[in-house]
Homo-oligomer: A and B are copies of this chain.
Amino acid sequence: MAVNFPSIDPAQLHPVAGVTLGWAEGHIRKPNRKDVLVISLDEGATVAGVFTANRFCAAPVIVCREHLAKVQASGGIRALVINTGNANAGTGEPGLADARATCAELARLTGLRAEQILPFSTGVILEPLPVDRVKAALPDALAHRDAANWYLGAQSIMTTDTLPKAVSAQVTIDGHTVTMTGISKGAGMIRPNMATMLGFLAIDAKLAQPVLDEMVKYVADRSFNCITIDGDTSTNDSFIIMASGRASLPAITSTADPAYVALRDAVTATAQSLSQLIVRDGEGATKFITVKVEGGADVAECRRIAYSIAHSPLVKTAFFASDPNLGRILCAVGYAGIDDLDVSRTDLYLDEVLVAKGGGRNPDYREEDGQRVMKQAEITVRLRLGRGEAEATIWTCDLSHDYVSINADYRS
């Protein structure tokens, strides 16, 4: 069902020195599936993250923020623990206690302090976390730790995902090879606002904490914050970059360092691929749609219009049907809330086909040209506003029968 989802060879996912992954079958919601993952970091790593803007954020998100706030004093983050099957969201004080208890148990088993551990959960909201089962799975996860486990790690964090998601790359900076490998999960409730459901990316470069803090925001804004499946911003969105510091590249202590820019751009490209995998495996997705809005007065209005198009159920069903019913796109532009939008300066392209010019149908537009593009599995909607120089790009998918089936059946 996934759209042009690349075949991932587990052997091609580079280990990242200083990082190991261990999984367990914790029977959190269903038996006989990997649903607990521990990522361990050697001493000296730096870690930074961005999290959901949802006000009903999950208990583990609150604990992650607390632990990252005291990261310098606590000696640095040394482990991440992730469970699927239960989001530990909408669970109030008991949920917070469960997230803390999970960290405490992993700390006890590893000799770390609880503050050196970041907890993550994903699954059903508003149900108590079966914390005893999570804790019981930890010894098994620790026993399975291996630097070559990235693919198994990607499998261990899946919920409604049909395929594990991982991307790996190497880049040479100043003659030094830097390795980066990441995993992500998510297929529905996807409209990240800070990060996606869950994304974990490790690099072996050494980055000072303030530099990594800045990089994680930069990267998230150009990757996980640019995807949407159904417009639902999850309670648990988290995107984490771990820098193990084991590469030979000298430590990066300033964002003014040219090596920073080179590394940041390489990490951004990897994170974009990783985030696009989520769209390609979007619930029921049959098309991968790029929505590019150009010529806006600022990036915010370009993003607003792009999301208005990407969230319209009518636009999404037209893509599903391969029906060039493209007036629906103009309609979604019109209600995006840009009060001073002059539609007579607006052009709409479908790939290279000019559909609407100056706010009306292009006289030269032929239905068969639109039809040809609509039949493709990958389509770019390009809107030119004629208001300025800003632009924004969003990646999304169509709305199909299977989306309804999957979400009507999710808990059964």
What residues of chain A have their CB less than 8 Å away from a CB belonging to chain B? 53-57, 87, 89-95, 124-128, 188-189, 191, 193, 230-235, 311-314, 317-318, 320-321, 323, 325-328, 330-336, 338-339, 341, 343-344, 355-356, 358-361, 399-401, 403-405, 407-412
Flag if A231 contacts B311 (CB, 8 Å).
yes
Hey, which chain B residues are within 8 Å of A404, CB to CB?
A: 317, 320, 399-401, 403-404
Query: Once bound together, how far apart are the Cα atoms of A117 and B205, in whole Å?
Result: 72
Hey, which chain B residues are within 8 Å of A95, CB to CB?
A: 360
Flag if B407 contacts A356 (CB, 8 Å).
no
From A408, which residue of chain B is reached at the shortest CB distance? B321
How many Å from the CB of A345 to the closest CB on chain B?
11
A312 in complex: contacting residue of B231, B330, B358, CB < 8 Å? B231
- Which interface residue of A92, A95, A311, A405 has the most chain B CB atoms within 10 A? A92
How many Å from the CB of A320 to the closest CB on chain B?
5
How many Å from the CB of A50 to the closest CB on chain B?
15
Q: A55-B334, A317-B403, A400-B404 are in contact. List 19 more A-B contacts (CB 8 A).
A: A89-B331, A90-B331, A90-B360, A95-B360, A126-B355, A126-B356, A127-B361, A230-B314, A231-B311, A231-B312, A232-B314, A233-B331, A233-B334, A317-B404, A317-B407, A320-B404, A320-B408, A323-B412, A401-B405
Hey, which chain B residues are within 8 Å of A405, CB to CB?
A: 401
Those 7 A-B pairs whose CB atoms lie nearest each other, nearest first: A125-B327, A92-B360, A56-B334, A126-B327, A321-B408, A233-B335, A54-B334
From A94, which residue of chain B is reached at the shortest CB distance? B360
Hey, which chain B residues are within 8 Å of A234, CB to CB?
A: 331
Flag if B327 contacts A90 (CB, 8 Å).
yes
Hey, which chain B residues are within 8 Å of A311, CB to CB?
A: 231
- On whether A314 and B55 interact (CB within 8 A), knowing A125-B327, A404-B404, A410-B325, the answer reads no
- Secondary structure of the A side of the interface? loop
Hey, which chain B residues are within 8 Å of A317, CB to CB?
A: 403-404, 407-408
Flag if A330 contacts B361 (CB, 8 Å).
no
Flag if A330 contacts B125 (CB, 8 Å).
yes
How many Å from the CB of A313 to the closest CB on chain B?
4
Flag if A343 contacts B56 (CB, 8 Å).
yes
Flag if B90 contacts A232 (CB, 8 Å).
no
Hey, which chain B residues are within 8 Å of A232, CB to CB?
A: 312-314, 328, 331-332, 335
Query: Once bound together, how far apart are the Cα atoms of A193 and B339, in whole Å?
Result: 13
Hey, which chain B residues are within 8 Å of A333, CB to CB?
A: 55-56
How many Å from the CB of A358 to the closest CB on chain B?
7
A356 in complex: contacting residue of B90, B344, B412, CB < 8 Å? B90
Query: Once bound together, how far apart are the Cα atoms of A335 and B236, in whole Å?
Result: 12
Hey, which chain B residues are within 8 Å of A124, CB to CB?
A: 325, 327
Flag if A56 contacts B331 (CB, 8 Å).
yes
Query: Once bound together, how far apart are the Cα atoms of A411 and B367, in whole Å?
Result: 13
Flag if B323 contacts A361 (CB, 8 Å).
no
Query: Once bound together, how far apart are the Cα atoms of A327 and B403, in whole Å?
Result: 18
Flag if A408 contacts B323 (CB, 8 Å).
yes
Hey, which chain B residues are within 8 Å of A343, CB to CB?
A: 55-56
From A334, which residue of chain B is reached at the shortest CB distance? B56
How many Å from the CB of A100 to the closest CB on chain B?
16
Hey, which chain B residues are within 8 Å of A325, CB to CB?
A: 124-125, 410-411
How many Å from the CB of A311 to the closest CB on chain B?
7
Hey, which chain B residues are within 8 Å of A318, CB to CB?
A: 407-408
Flag if A314 contacts B189 (CB, 8 Å).
yes
Query: Once bound together, how far apart are the Cα atoms of A334 and B61, in whole Å?
Result: 14
Hey, which chain B residues are within 8 Å of A313, CB to CB?
A: 230-232, 313, 399, 403, 407
- On whether A411 and B323 interact (CB within 8 A), knowing A334-B235, A343-B55, A404-B400, the answer reads yes
Report 20 cross-chain contacts, Cβ distance below 8 Å, ordered by A residue.
A55-B335, A56-B334, A56-B359, A57-B334, A87-B327, A89-B327, A90-B359, A94-B360, A126-B326, A126-B355, A126-B356, A188-B314, A231-B312, A232-B314, A235-B331, A313-B407, A318-B407, A321-B409, A323-B411, A325-B410
